[in-house]
Amino acid sequence: MHQDLDQNPAVARGLLKESIAQRLREEILAARLSPGEKIVEGKWAREYGVAQISIREALNILVAQGLVTKGHGRSARVFKAGEG
C-alpha cells in the first residue's frame, strides 16, 4: 500500500531537520550566532519547539556544510576561521 510522502514519518523527520538546519544557517549567516559560539541543543529545541534530536540532526547537516564544528563528545560550535 502506498503512503503519501507528507504522512510518512521518515520523510517528515527529514523535512524537519532540513527546515531547522535552514533556520540555524540563517542565524549563522546573519551573524546572530558568532564564530566559535557554542550551540546549545536544548536552548534551540525550546526556541523552535522541537526535540533535541531534531536539533542534533540539523547540526550534523551544518557540520557537513562546514558551518558548524563538532568534535567527538564535544558540543557543536559555529565554525571559526583557523579551527580546522
> Per-residue pLDDT for 1 more than 60?
no
Q: Which amino acid is at 20?
A: I
Confidence band for 13, pLDDT divided at 50, 70 and 90: confident
Note the pLDDT tens digit of each residue in 22-37: 999 999 999 999 999 9
- 11 pLDDT band, cuts 50/70/90, is low
Name the DSSP letter for residue 33: S
**Residue 26 cell numbers, joined:** 540563517
pLDDT of residue 74: 78
> How far is it, in rounded angstroms, from Cα 53 to Cα 81?
27
- The mean pLDDT value for 40-67 works out to 95
Q: In 3-state terms, what secondary structure has residue 15?
A: helix
